[in-house]
Structure 1
Amino acid sequence: MAIIRSDWSMPREGFTFDTVLSILKHTAFDPRKTLPVYLAALYTTKGQQFFAQHPKALTWLRRAVFGGLFFRVKRFLDQGVANNWRSDRYDWNREIVVVTGGSDGIGAKMVQMLASKGIKVVVLDIQEPKYVLPPKVQYFHCDLGSPDAIRETAAQVKQKVGHPTVLINNAGFARGKTILDTTDNDLRLTFQVNAICHYQLAQQFLPEMIKNNHGMVVTIASLASYVTAPSLVDYCASKSAALTFHEGLQTELYNLYKADKVRCVCVNQGYTKTALFAGFDKGDGFVSYALEPDTVAEATVKAVLAGKSDHIILPVGNTGITTIKAWPTWMQVSVRKGLNNLMKEWKGRQVAQPSEAKESNLGESIVDVKKE
């Protein structure tokens, strides 16, 4: 059973660059610790005498204080603007959370963590759950590759469970093919599961959230939203579409629907150790490293429980990659060229969709679908 751990717990991935950043955040860049020392250096006799003998230490202390204050103010503004300067209260005994792709991988971890808090959860997936369903968790078979199936399943959920107040668009799909090898059906399914179904699920569940001005839509995108790699072009494009959906939804909720308390969360994670991306290049192990499914699930669930809009990057040390479109062209192209080995050993598991067989009237075979 996946559990939510304390922020002070040792990272599941071991000692990484994120560990260093976390230590600095809670020590050198914590104004609650550094500001009193800085004020003592300025306004007490002993402090003035000590730092007069160590001027470089005073310089570094000043940088730490103002650096910490900068990040605190930035976080305050990020949270305020993203949440429209409005607070909202969630009663987790009454909320209903829908998790797509919740039968396995990251989604399963999310379901288990939410269930550990006694929250009512609905799993939408084409696969049967690979774990014993906890109390207050219900599974509905749903082919997210089929718009008709989504509408029918959504109607069943509303009738049998109630109107969901949190929608977590977690399901993912990847073929791992080059542009020339990608079939029309590959392309359709990749975009349908990774992006288009976000629209269709929102159309089913969002109206009630808007009506009550209460709820949350969580988009599990990817760092692939920002950087394109060979043999992942369709996946990266679909994840970019998911990120754009999140950004557009947040804007429409505020400007068009006046639902300023409906929250939007976007999670952009790097490579995670799931069956979907088995064999994917694991990075350098320090700055860019393989994430545990529990880590991504935990960050997502903590954001949900906080009841606030947020934009999450994992690993945190990869945040700079989100600015890549502003880099000089030579740097952007060099980064993309350097990703050539990411998919060389990829053997990710794929689940055949009923809609795939039904709509594969293009004279192609489905034999390339890898079984678990």
Structure 2
Amino acid sequence: MPSGQFSDIPETLGVLDVDVFIKVLSRTLFSPFFTAFIPLLVASQRQQWDAPAVKWSAGWFFLLSMFWSLRFISKLWRNGGSLLYQSARTSWENQIVLITGGASGTGELLANTLAVRNVDVVVLDVNPIVSENYNVHYYKCDISNWEEVNVISKRIIEEVGQPTIVVNNAGVVQGKPLVELSAEDINQTFAVNTLGHFWVLKAFLPGIVKQRFGHIVTVSSVTAFAGIARMADYCASKSAVISLHESLRYELDKIYRTPQIRTTLVTTGFIHTPLFSRSSYAATETPSPLPAWLFHFFAPPLDSHEVVKAIIAALDANESTDIKLPFYAHLVALSRVFPSWVRDVLQWVILQISGADYMMENFVKVSGLRGDEEVVNDEGSKEA
């Protein structure tokens, strides 16, 4: 956790949150392997096999086994796997990874982490990446501009090679109420957050389809599933790329007949990156009405390394998957399938816990500034 943030959180709770409890429960009370021993343990205590304690524990084991079996079968189906053998993991030899927005935050960490594996990494950003790795190749590019992406993509293929893995990570946020958004604000949000995905895929997907292997990672946000005050444009743009991700999956399967090209969707909550560094989430005072330690427990902010670790795990496994971090991201996504009144209650509870509607109240934009926007320093004054 960055220094100075949530300073009133007890030290013992600094790394303790609901996600830790979920991980522990998933390996114990919700693990078929663990619960298989419970009926045997109960029966060994001189209980009859038809005793309620034995039957209930056996029933719980059966339900868990069914649940995890269905999840496993779904994973096999999605990745064209077999019960008899496991899909081959990614061989990093000769892989070329392209990352948009790779000059800072999660993109920068991902680029440098992969570079340590001796993987060639191409970074597209309007700002240069800071890296000591010789195999990180930076190309200045505004991905919201198709003509620029088209020209740069040809240079990349000629100078570095055809990317095999594409991580659409670049993003921008305005942090304004809808009626206060200028036309330039809205155009920039959708041009970077949504159209940028289209332009990068339009430029590099033909080569990936031609070689018939690769991996496309789409970075969205949990805000795609729940509207948040002062983020109407951001939420809409992130929701759009989820639809793009789903359509891409079916095009790869049905049109190009290349199910072996994997697709991964990443939906996360708040991450400590420059993009939201001047929001309430990044400040000492939390936007939630809950005490800081309780807020942190239920709605833990993410560090970039947690997201990078999950993305690299998906790339290593060479499987199409969905990554939702932290745990409450699953609840927000799931809320959409419930009746409207249940969804409203769930969203109210989640937003009350997270304080998301207030996170952008005093937001200052410092990332993705346009030429017509002024820089605001840490003291709140504008700079030329």
User: If the length of structure 2 is used for normalisation, what is the TM-score?
Assistant: 0.82
- For residues 112 and 179 of structure 1, the distance between their equivalents in structure 2, rounded to whole angstroms, comes to 37
For the aligned residue pairs, the C-alpha RMSD in angstroms reads: 2.5
In the alignment, structure 1 residue 345 sits paired with structure 2 residue 349:
no
- For residues 32 and 101 of structure 2, the distance between their equivalents in structure 1, rounded to whole angstroms, comes to 41
Deviates more, 1:143-152 or 1:25-34: 25-34
- Per-residue CA distance 1:52-85 (angstroms, 9 max, x = gap): 79844x4663354234323421331331232133
The aligned counterpart of 1:28 is 29
- For residues 297 and 17 of structure 2, the distance between their equivalents in structure 1, rounded to whole angstroms, comes to 5
Deviates more, 1:236-245 or 1:180-189: 180-189
Shift of 1:316: 2.3
- For residues 216 and 311 of structure 2, the distance between their equivalents in structure 1, rounded to whole angstroms, comes to 11
| Unaligned 5+ runs, structure 2 | 1-12, 289-294, 379-384
In the alignment, structure 1 residue 367 sits paired with structure 2 residue 373:
yes
- For residues 38 and 99 of structure 1, the distance between their equivalents in structure 2, rounded to whole angstroms, comes to 50
Shift of 1:151: 1.0
- For residues 48 and 127 of structure 2, the distance between their equivalents in structure 1, rounded to whole angstroms, comes to 64
- For residues 109 and 60 of structure 2, the distance between their equivalents in structure 1, rounded to whole angstroms, comes to 37
Question: Cα 1:119–1:273, aligned 2, differ >3 Å: closer, same or farther?
Answer: same
Contact 1:269–1:315 (CA under 8 A) maintained in structure 2: yes
The aligned counterpart of 1:363 is none
| Partner-residue secondary structure (3-state), 2:19 | helix
Which amino acid letter does the alignment assign opposite residue 30 of structure 1? S
Question: Cα 1:219–1:97, aligned 2, differ >3 Å: closer, same or farther?
Answer: same
In the alignment, structure 1 residue 253 sits paired with structure 2 residue 255:
no
The aligned counterpart of 1:128 is 128
| Partner-residue secondary structure (3-state), 2:301 | coil
Shift of 1:292: 0.8
| Partner-residue secondary structure (3-state), 2:358 | coil
Contact 2:89–2:317 (CA under 8 A) maintained in structure 1: no
Instruction: Tell me which of 45, 49, 54 is aligned to 2:46.
Output: 49
- For residues 209 and 311 of structure 1, the distance between their equivalents in structure 2, rounded to whole angstroms, comes to 21
| Partner-residue secondary structure (3-state), 1:122 | strand
The aligned counterpart of 2:117 is 117
Which amino acid letter does the alignment assign opposite residue 109 of structure 1? L
The aligned counterpart of 1:6 is none
- For residues 108 and 224 of structure 1, the distance between their equivalents in structure 2, rounded to whole angstroms, comes to 22
The aligned counterpart of 2:220 is 221
Shift of 1:183: 1.3
Question: Cα 1:67–1:320, aligned 2, differ >3 Å: closer, same or farther?
Answer: farther
Question: Cα 1:147–1:108, aligned 2, differ >3 Å: closer, same or farther?
Answer: same
| Partner-residue secondary structure (3-state), 1:159 | helix
Shift of 1:118: 2.0
- For residues 214 and 318 of structure 1, the distance between their equivalents in structure 2, rounded to whole angstroms, comes to 30
The aligned counterpart of 2:316 is 305
Contact 1:88–1:261 (CA under 8 A) maintained in structure 2: no
| Partner-residue secondary structure (3-state), 1:49 | coil
Deviates more, 1:235-244 or 1:192-201: 192-201
Q: Paired residues, what number?
A: 344
The aligned counterpart of 2:180 is 181
Contact 1:21–1:317 (CA under 8 A) maintained in structure 2: no
The aligned counterpart of 2:330 is 319
Identity %: 27
Contact 2:90–2:315 (CA under 8 A) maintained in structure 1: no
1:161-172 pair list within 5 angstroms: 161-172=160-171
Contact 1:350–1:370 (CA under 8 A) maintained in structure 2: no
Shift of 1:323: 2.1
Which amino acid letter does the alignment assign opposite residue 195 of structure 1? T
Question: Cα 1:62–1:345, aligned 2, differ >3 Å: closer, same or farther?
Answer: farther
Question: Cα 1:47–1:370, aligned 2, differ >3 Å: closer, same or farther?
Answer: same
Which amino acid letter does the alignment assign opposite residue 123 of structure 2? V
1:130-169 pair list within 5 angstroms: 131-169=130-168
| Unaligned 5+ runs, structure 1 | 1-11, 358-365
Shift of 1:317: 3.8
Shift of 1:164: 0.4
Contact 1:275–1:348 (CA under 8 A) maintained in structure 2: no
